[in-house]
Amino acid sequence: MVVFKFCRRYQKLQKIMKPCFGDMLSFTLTAFVELMDHGIVSWDTFSVAFIKKIASFVNKSAIDISILQRSLAILESMVLNSHDLYQKVAQEITIGQLIPHLQGTDQEIQTYTIAVINALFLKAPDERRQVDVESSVDILDCPLTEMANILAQKQLRSIILTHVIRAQRAINNEMAHQLYVLQVLTFNLLEDRMMAKMDPQDQAQRDIIFELRRIAFDAESEPNNSGGSMEKRKSMYTRDYKKLGFINHVNPAMDFTQTPPGMLALDNMLYFAKHHQDAYIRIVLENSSREDKHECPFGRSSIELTKMLCEILKVGELRKYTCSHVG
């Protein structure tokens, strides 16, 4: 009898959704969330039309705060409680439609918004979690099925840092939890690279090491233009790789066969060399002129520092946990 009455109320709520607006819609959505929290009715019973309706409340530029709160909570619950609904919800909203809610001043809305992003990533298929570190996609138009590239973009991190973490108010417990979940998800994007060994025979990977050498010693003549013998060129490479601080001066690719940190260490070194070129060149050249007892070799130090950070940040260790519902 209790289940029958519950289902009748559930059906009535779905029927009265269409003509609802204002306070009535807010109360209806609140009642809907509370009823669904009982777990009696499956989330899989919802139609695409219903999902579109809820998503439309989130996508509107001007909407009542209470309606927005409940709509975000419903979308989060749909994703967390139904594998099939993940794709449907992800197709209805983009990160560009969620960002304005992060840029607002209501911390509860920001919390619900981050919770939706976390839920979508947690339910994303494994192939959707593969991040392209060189991706330059416009996240404003990026569908939420591309969660890895979204989380990897500096733009989203900057928005959260500016409007959430550095906002002129204390961060409450629920927001702190959602930020923690987001941080873990972001760091775990690095696990594949952390556990990937370098293949010393892979020319594309070896070219990355050569790029490090080229940036550091660009003022010197390139081997191809030096006109020297093969032995002379090998000697030049060995000398430069020693200055760069690799353990294996002849074949520095061998330095990246230990996991962790694997290829992640080389990624970090290349990023630093490309984006902070002056500092990179200064560190390499200054260190190469020091006495052995005062040296801090760039290559070895970078590898050990990356490994240490992976341990401190527990990259790959916190793969399973519960993303609690905001309420």
pLDDT at 21 over 70: no
User: How many Å apart are CA 313 and CA 180, to the nearest integer?
Assistant: 11
Alpha carbon 81 to chain centroid distance?
Answer: 22
ω before 100 within 30° of 0 (cis)? no
pLDDT at 8 over 70: no
Residue 16: per-residue pLDDT: 47
Q: Which residue has better confidence, 321 or 231?
A: 231
Amino acid symbol at 33: V
Nearest to 307 by CA among 277, 249, 254, 262: 262
Of 67-81, 87-101, 125-139, minimum mean pLDDT range: 125-139
pLDDT at 302 over 90: yes
Instruction: Give mean pLDDT, residues 74-101.
Output: 90
Per-residue pLDDT band at 6 (split at 50, 70, 90): very low
User: How many Å apart are CA 64 and CA 151, to the nearest integer?
Assistant: 28
pLDDT at 29 over 60: yes
Residue 41: per-residue pLDDT: 83
pTM assigned to the model: 0.79
User: How many Å apart are CA 270 and CA 260, to the nearest integer?
Assistant: 17
Model confidence over 215-263: pLDDT tens digits? Answer: 999 755 454 555 567 888 888 899 999 999 999 999 999 999 999 999 9
Instruction: Give mean pLDDT, residues 10-15.
Output: 52
Per-residue pLDDT band at 24 (split at 50, 70, 90): confident
Residue 5: per-residue pLDDT: 46
Positive/negative CA dihedral, 200, 206, 210, 212: negative
The DSSP secondary-structure symbol of 164 reads I
Model confidence over 258-278: pLDDT tens digits? Answer: 999 999 999 999 999 999 999
Q: By three-state DSSP, how is residue 143 classified?
A: strand
Per-residue pLDDT band at 61 (split at 50, 70, 90): confident
pLDDT at 142 over 70: no
Per-residue pLDDT band at 98 (split at 50, 70, 90): very high
125: which residues sit within 8 A by CB, 6+ positions away? none
Residue 215: per-residue pLDDT: 95
Residue 296: per-residue pLDDT: 80
Instruction: Give mean pLDDT, residues 173-183.
Output: 95
Residue 139: per-residue pLDDT: 55
pLDDT at 194 over 70: yes
